[in-house]
Structure 1
Amino acid sequence: MSSRRYPDEFKVEVVKQVTERGRRVKEVAEHLGVSQHSLYAWIRRYQQPDEEKQKQQAQADEIRRLNAQLREVTEERDILKKAGRVLRQAVRVRYAFIKDHERAHPVRRLCRLMDVHPSGYYAWKRQPDSRRQREDRRLLGVIKQSWLESGVYGYRKIHHDLRDLGERCGKHRVARLMRGEGLKSQTGYRRRPGFRGGRPAIVAPNHLQQQFDVSAPNQAWVTDITYIRTHEGWLYLSVVLDLFSRQVVGWSMRPRMDRELAMNALMMAVWRRQPDGPVVVHSDQGSQFSSHDWQDFLKAHGLVDSMSRRGNCHDNAVAESFFQLLKRERIRRRIYPDREEARRDVFDYIELFYNARHRHGYIGGLSPVEFEKRYFNRLASV
């Protein structure tokens, strides 16, 4: 395995396991099936000098500072958009606006933008409700009872009910109170237009047909893309799995979900597996998998393109199952400050845990690497 070619993205992440996570070279080499000599060569080539790390750290700090300023300016812009004509109205109206939005934005920032003093706002907030507000609350209780009894009435019929009960109020007041509580008439609904059965793939037919059981490696691969949330933004992950052992044979991570993301994962799979025959590569009909670059790469390497019907995710259930496992066992237990930290953790899960140690029920409680090792040992003994 050590003589095979590996992409630079793979080598960089392997080096980080030693230089940044403190793992031993021997341990990492054994897990990944590469020689220690190759791993030391990768470290000499890809390890960053201290000055460059300090420079990158300074740049990262500056980017975080600018992002914080940008978030603050964006938040103030959003507040002013919501305010509308409130700025030109009475102080009590601006106080009401602050009260409605204080859970989403800091009170002092709202007061500064509304041109009021925080102490004045808190004094107004401590004041008891006006007689009109108390009457609105009482009237709203009667409105809710009438609406619950009918289940379908709008404000006009609710207004008639209130008049029959002896309440003196206008229909527009009833409409305002119902709108504030989200109460509205049941007007029915119509089905949105569109074909619900899933359209056949235009680029490639479905060769997989949900046949997830294969008898040997490199007969059928499935690929898909998911997203990972970080405080810096989304990190997109594309993987390629071999249906024989459920091993992740190719992956790539990028801040954008473009065709290069999918292409890098597929190229890693080809470099690592080096298939000597046609392999079915199944995907959905996303733009990343229908590009000319994707189709040309498949043809150049003897890979058979296969796609699900539009809106039908059952044929890609294995990839979806892996993503659910990744998020349940690792991602949902973490809070990633940036994409780089997420990359390191996802690499650790895929290469050092899932492929090498994770016990998979589909393959008899073995890890994907161990399952393939036993398969090749049986072939050699025959």
Structure 2
Amino acid sequence: MAKYSAEEKLKAVLRYLEGKESSIEIARSIGTDHAAIIKWTKQYRYNGAEAFIKRYTNYSAQFKLDVLNHMIEYGTSLNETAAIFGIAAPSTILQWRKQFETKGFDALQSKKKGRPSMKKETNKQSKIAPVEGSPEALQAEINRLRMENEYFKKVERLSSSQGKITKEDKVKVIYELRHKYSVKALVAFAGIPRSTYYDLVKKMNRPDPDAELKDDIQSIYEEHEGRYGYRRIRDELANRGQKVNHKKVQRIMKELGLKCLVRMKKYKSYKGTVGKIAPNILDRNFTAECPNQKWVTDITEFKLFGEKLYLSPVLDLFNGEIISYTIGSRPTYSLVSEMLDQALERLPAEHQLLMHSDQGWHYQMKQYRHALQSRGIVQSMSRKGNCYDNSVMENFFGIMKSEFLYLKEFESVEHFKQQLENYINYYNTKRIKAKLKLSPVQYRTQFNRAA
């Protein structure tokens, strides 16, 4: 390709910017390819007419590093980076990058041109390894042993505090010892490439851009006592106005050693016959368009301090909120009737509601059925032995046991009841439901405001 003067390049760019001719047409008219026209135009846009003036090209190592950092930070291409910094050949930047990746910052230093002087040759000869047994050889061996001993001491100190040594830890030790011993000897002994050392030092001296986010993630994790995994923490951050990708939250949690403590539970069931007391009207349609449209209920059992305890809650399918609950040492009918009385106090008068349960004997009692009928509530029951028909309630029991029962330690039954009240309040008001991206109460409040 022919060489073009600064004036010829400028004329071609101005023709292209007028918009009357394409880059291909201009390139054909002056005997070059259209890519050259595009490159010259980029250079002109970033640096004006000065982009075509030949400059002194003995770039400093710091300038080269700045160019490489800009390309990494902003994701610019070789051509665009060359245009921004006024570098004639984009391949020059590629060469700098290869030098830095293989040999580190030292490789970016400019070498003096021409033949080496005789004096330098003499200096090289003087750097030949000393004769074995000579004072120089003994001193070199002493220095090597001191370096290794000091390196080991610092590495062992880190190892005892955190249990393992990472590449970053080795770099920290080398960085501390760099003024006393040769970096080349230290990295060779540590078994890491020099380019890796310089790259990590550069990162080490930068402020952590995620420091504030890490504090927020740690705070949310502790606030929810380890119950939140990375998805719920992502949702909580979003509720606080921080849009963060779930993969980034997962990576940071891994760095911080944070792991969700909740164990996922699965249940099995068998398909039975249709109940005779009430049909399965719900029919696994677990969605509701507004509060107090569909409620579900069930009873679960705990064993604590050698005693059995029974929990009877009622849950709103609209937002997963626990409307009311009772707990007792025996599964009597009063356990269910008291729960129902408390729940009905929150139900607006003449409100159409569907109440779903399994076929437990409590829900077949005449008193229970009469209490529903007197308020115009439609009763629905699961098929016999099929807990999938009431899986939302089963799911709540699994979550409650995993997040509360199995993670906490209790001093007495009374202490358990007190902590259970705190947990259900937390479940309703603070704990984010993944499907809603909000807590049940927050979701209901938002719906009521919009209505």
State the TM-score bracket (shorter-chain normalisation): 0.3 to 0.5
TM-score (norm 1): 0.46
Larger gyration radius, structure 1 or structure 2? 2
TM-score (norm 2): 0.39
